[in-house]
Every structure is written in C-alpha cells, then in structure tokens.
Amino acid sequence: MVQEEIRKGPWTEHEDVQLVFYVNLFGDRRWDFIAKVSGLKRTGKSCRLRWVNYLHPGLKRGKMTTHEERLVLELHSKWGNRWSRIARKLPGRTDNEIKNYWRTHLRKKAQERKQAMSPPSSISNSGVLAPSSWISRSSTSSNNPPMDLMPVMETKGRSFYDTGGDLEIFAPKGKKDKEVEESEKVYSMDDIWKDIDLSENCQTITSPIWNYCPDLLVDDGRRGE
C-alpha cells in the first residue's frame, strides 16, 4: 500500500484554520477521523496535540501569573510530574505549557526550596531514599539540574518522581484518577478563579486563530457530543 505522506513540524495558519473548522464540525474526540476527513496530512495524534495545546478556545495565553506559578510549585511538590493533573487545577493552562514552564522556570526554584528545607544529609524529605538510589535521567546537557536525580518510582511502566511530598498511591489514569481527584479536591475552581482575579488581572488571550476565524468559535469547549 502506498503510505500517504505524513506532515510533521510546525503547523501553518492554513492547517490551523482547517483543523479548527473540522473540530467544530465533528467535536474534539475522534482525532483519527478528523485527521482523515480534514485532508490534513497529519496524524490524529498531532491534530489532537495542536488543538489541545494551541487552538482550544479556552486557552489562556501569556505569562504565568505569580499565583499560577505558586500553584504549580505547590501541586508539583504534592503530585510530582503529573502534569495533566496539575493542569486541571489551572484553568486555561495545558499540561504541556506547565511542563515547559516548570522545566525552564520553576525547577530551579523548587530545587532551592528543597535544599533550603532539607539538611545536607543523604536523607530526602521522605526520609527513605538516599542518593545512591537515585537514578540520573539526564538526557541533555550539563545544566540539567538535580531535579532529574529525584528518586524514580515505577508503577506499571509509568514512572514519576518522588518530589518529597506526600507519596500518593499511584492510581491508574482515567476513571479512578477522577475518583481520587473528587475525593481530595484541594482547590475548588472558584478558589482558583478568585485567586487569579485577585492576584493579577491577567487577560485571557484567546488563540490567534480565533481572531482569524471568529465564526468558528464554539461555546466553552462543549462541542458536539
């Protein structure tokens, strides 16, 4: 069979418009289908990512507020690298965005914070793991801070870092995750919004594509289900 060539790399404005149109038409679930019918030479996966991280109308763009930053630090110390979960507590922010922000801005801060809190002994905050059990996962250069040397907990093929916060039992994703979340709500959405409003009047900037193609706006992420 002749494999249709798959486009990779940065999305063009035209591709964005096309994707938005088809998502508006069919909803944001059947990505393989959308990828096919839209004529975009992208994988469903790629379409989903583009939508979720860039085109979704509910996205808040622009700099993280100090409150959001604080929240990320807080939640990361509690949950580790569970970005999607952290993202759920920050309306308008994506897991990818938070993950990137963490790597570039906060890792150092968290590091300092941790160092300030822990004695220079070999015992981590959890009091269990010594550096000898740490695994270096640095894949890139020299300046990878020791965050990468956090103890790695393995569960069912997934891993996350012990950040020194409460080690939660690693509930499987999906339904169970939701249950866990329901039962442990730390911040209500109201709290978060209130706080954000108070801390800074950060403007919600919708994705540029929506200015470009305003007709396609859908109401609050609820598309044909």
Partner DNA sequence: AATTGCTACAACCGCAAGTCC
Partner DNA sequence: TGGACTTGCGGTTGTAGCAAT
Residue 204 has a CB neighbour count (10 Å cut-off) of: 12
Among 13, 32, 112, 179, binds DNA (CB under 7 A): 32
Does 111 contact DNA by CB under 7 A?
A: no
Does 29 contact DNA by CB under 7 A?
A: yes
Residue 179 has a CB neighbour count (10 Å cut-off) of: 11
Q: How far is the CB of 118 from DNA (least distance, A)?
A: 21
Does 194 contact DNA by CB under 7 A?
A: no
What's the half-sphere exposure (Cβ side, CA atoms, 13 Å) at 78? Answer: 14
Count of residues engaged in binding DNA, rule: CB under 7 A: 51
Residues 126-145 that bind DNA (CB under 7 A): 137, 139-141, 143
Does 53 contact DNA by CB under 7 A?
A: yes
Q: How far is residue 187 CA from its own chain's centroid? A: 17
CA angle 140, 146, 151 (to 5 degrees): 105
Q: In DSSP terms, which residues pair with 155 in a beta bridge?
A: 158
The tokens for 42 are: 């992208």
Does 162 contact DNA by CB under 7 A?
A: no
Q: How far is the CB of 121 from DNA (least distance, A)?
A: 26
CA angle 113, 118, 120 (to 5 degrees): 120
Q: How far is the CB of 47 from DNA (least distance, A)?
A: 8
Q: How far is residue 125 CA from its own chain's centroid? A: 25
Among 40, 71, 160, 210, binds DNA (CB under 7 A): 160
Residue entry with tokens 């209130």: 194
Does 48 contact DNA by CB under 7 A?
A: yes
Nearer to DNA, 142 or 201 (CB): 142
Q: Contact, 118 vs 124, CB < 8 A?
A: yes
Among 166, 174, 183, 225, binds DNA (CB under 7 A): 174
Q: Contact, 34 vs 47, CB < 8 A?
A: yes
Nearer to DNA, 121 or 139 (CB): 139
Helix (H) or strand (E) holding 23: helix 13-26
Does 82 contact DNA by CB under 7 A?
A: yes
Q: Where does this chain touch DNA (CB under 7 A) — which range of 40-48, 115-123, 125-133, 184-192? A: 40-48
Binding interface with DNA (CB under 7 A): 7-11, 29-33, 42, 44-46, 48-50, 53-54, 63, 81-85, 95-97, 99-101, 103-105, 137, 139-141, 143, 156-161, 172-177
